[in-house]
Structure 1
Amino acid sequence: MSESFRVGTRGSALATTQTGWAAQKLAGISGLDVETVLVKTEGDVVTGSLATLGGTGVFAAALRQHLLDAGCDLAVHSLKDLPTAQPEGLVLAAIPAREDVRDALCSRDSLGLDQLPHGAKIGTGSPRRAAQLLAYRSDFEIVDIRGNVPTRLGRVKGVGKTLDDGSVGRSTQGDLDAVILAAAGMRRLGLEDHITEYLDPSIMLPAPGQGALALETRSAGSGHQALDAALSQFDDAHTRMQVEAERALLSTLEAGCAAPIGALAHIDGDDLVLEAVACNPDGSETMRRSARIACSTTDAAQQLGRSLAQSMIADGAAVVAGLA
């Protein structure tokens, strides 16, 4: 009987798709079989906006506890959903190459952001997205929404009828002109045909870590030498440096993953460039800054994030973003 490892995941379509992709890649590298363990999290059962629930970290807590309790050997997260403080006893063993980092507009009648009518209703559960939308067009009406990707898409007029996989329930309202979702999740689910417009980072900076997956194990290892070796091979050095800079900025600003903060790092030659924005939740004020550093280590990437955050704090970013 061949050896297998257990991978923990939430039960949503996006979570199981992401987990399945990562697990099969690791199984191929390691030669191990894989067993999937479904874990129900607080964020899956408690209603209310993500901001009032304490941010998207509510989705990770139960999964991490299951990992600590040895109920699984590996957990797969959307990195943007993870709090920046790493729990004792756990380590991000691999961050594979990143998917599309951008936010995506999914609208009725294929209308672009500039073509949406005055007062258009746009759904998002993210204060970061809401603030940047209002900064771009103050006439938009932002509607706080929750639910899985098909449920959110079903809120858009006319779109629910085109989702023929049965994933949108009869309660779908079709009450919105558009929703904003992460392009990475749409692409992973094969729903990119519903994307009307990829929002350029000059309009909307993504969440720190957006588009990246985090593969987490116990600090002492997964319990499988072949899996630990596969995780090391699966890790992408450039992606790790980028997200380390973004998350260090978020941590230094003492902002949670539901705060109106955007950040995006990219490699430019030998340099790591980090862009960041802090927004007033109502979009009335934004502070956008960038910095770069010759970078070859994660320590240097983290220092770039911390130093840019400190300069933004000195200029009043905490007050702008309502974090003070």
Structure 2
Amino acid sequence: MKLRLGTRASQLARTQSSMVARQLIDAAKERGIDLDVELVRIRTEGDVSRDSLVGLSQTGVFVNALRDALKNDVCDLVVHSLKDIPVEPHPDLEIAAIPEREDVRDALCTLGHSLNDLPAGARIGTGSPRRAAQLLALRPDLTVEGLRGNIDTRLGKLHDGLDGVVLAAAGLNRIGRSDEATTLLDPSQMLPAPGQGALAVEVLPDADPEWADVVRSLDHIDTRRAVNAERAVLGVLDAGCAAPVAAYATIANGVMTLKARVVNGNGTLSLNETTTGSATEAASLGRSTGFTLLGRGAGRLMGGS
């Protein structure tokens, strides 16, 4: 049986999709199914545009073309970075699997300096308002600049004027570049983006059960519950990746601990909220946390500096 897996064309996206493809082949083999998975490269608006992500319409900028390819039978399934997917469920598609997530931390990459050792005024590149705001909260003397491009392009800026860049540890790990991280920022310092480190495999709801059930077998329930809670915070705050909103859920013995943070643009003010509850009530836990943050003035922080 042959499947066409739609993926963005970047090295990271292809690596992530290849990982999922191998997991699918192995899971199918356990069921006695001989599966062949072909990657189909799809260009998205986010790949084509060189504008700042903050200036683009963020909702779906990296996923719409993949979803169109799936609906138009260009491919049978697609793999996304979960944090790129709009919170609102797509009416015509199913997130069939969220495999176990990678490292959720952000990685500071420099030419040797740790965060604390960077000189005053050091120039740090990131395309994420969440990272920028939390960096400034930790080190208000830093100069944070916008940054776009693939991992190689961003790391290359270290030799082209920047003193550091901040990337997702998960991406570095997946392409075998984890040694580029000078400092892995603990979530207590820099809370991750909702869904950071997780992938999502999307299919049509009426996909052939013979292979669609293989896809669903890759689902990791604790990861799904955690990211559902994190994304529910975003849903209530009506925020996308252009807003300095962070959320991270952990699960131990069936109990979820959800930490959420909203920071203003220059990092001078922040709201933090920690909620605990049953992991089976992940979405409601996320929503209640979001409403608490709204009640404490999160809307003003997201909209101003």
2:116 aligned residue (114, 117, 142) = 114
Matched AA of 2:124: I
**Where do 1:218-233 residues align within 5 Å?**
218-221=204-207, 223=208, 225-233=209-217
Matching residue of 1:10: 8
Matching residue of 2:138: 136
**Where do 1:1-324 residues align within 5 Å?**
3-30=1-28, 31-55=34-58, 57-108=60-111, 110-157=112-159, 174-221=160-207, 223=208, 225-295=209-279, 297=280, 300-322=281-303
CA distance in 2, matches of 1:136, 1:68: 44
The Cα offsets for residues 35-79 of structure 1, whole Å up to 9 and x where unpaired, read as 111111111111211011122731111011111111111100110
Matched AA of 1:23: A
Secondary structure (helix, strand or coil) at the match of 2:249 reads: strand
CA distance in 2, matches of 1:143, 1:310: 31
CA distance in 1, matches of 2:170, 2:266: 26
The Cα offsets for residues 260-295 of structure 1, whole Å up to 9 and x where unpaired, read as 000000013221110000010111111111101022
CA distance in 2, matches of 1:276, 1:220: 36
Matching residue of 1:165: none
TM-score (norm 2): 0.96
The Cα offsets for residues 183-218 of structure 1, whole Å up to 9 and x where unpaired, read as 000000100111101001111000000000000111
Report if the CA contact (8 A) 2:105-2:192 is conserved: yes
TM-score (norm 1): 0.90
How far 1:33 sits from its partner (Å)?
0.7
The Cα offsets for residues 149-172 of structure 1, whole Å up to 9 and x where unpaired, read as 010000013xxxxxxxxxxxxxxx
CA distance in 2, matches of 1:281, 1:218: 39
Secondary structure (helix, strand or coil) at the match of 2:303 reads: coil
CA distance in 2, matches of 1:256, 1:246: 12
Matched AA of 1:123: G
Secondary structure (helix, strand or coil) at the match of 1:76 reads: strand
CA distance in 1, matches of 2:219, 2:201: 9
CA distance in 2, matches of 1:95, 1:87: 15
CA distance in 2, matches of 1:236, 1:253: 26
Report if the CA contact (8 A) 1:57-1:257 is conserved: no
Report if the CA contact (8 A) 1:76-1:213 is conserved: yes
Report if the CA contact (8 A) 1:82-1:257 is conserved: no
CA distance in 1, matches of 2:110, 2:181: 8
Structure 1 unpaired stretches of 5+: 158-173
Task: Compare 263-272 and 178-187 and name the one that shifted more.
Answer: 263-272
Report if the CA contact (8 A) 2:193-2:247 is conserved: yes
Matched AA of 2:15: T
CA distance in 2, matches of 1:285, 1:54: 26
The Cα offsets for residues 200-246 of structure 1, whole Å up to 9 and x where unpaired, read as 1111000000000000111222x3x3321212211000000000000
Matched AA of 1:11: A
CA distance in 1, matches of 2:59, 2:103: 20
CA distance in 1, matches of 2:19, 2:254: 31
Matching residue of 1:164: none
CA distance in 2, matches of 1:32, 1:265: 34
CA distance in 2, matches of 1:102, 1:23: 25
Secondary structure (helix, strand or coil) at the match of 2:61 reads: helix
Identity percentage of aligned residues: 48
Task: Compare 20-29 and 243-252 and name the one that shifted more.
Answer: 20-29
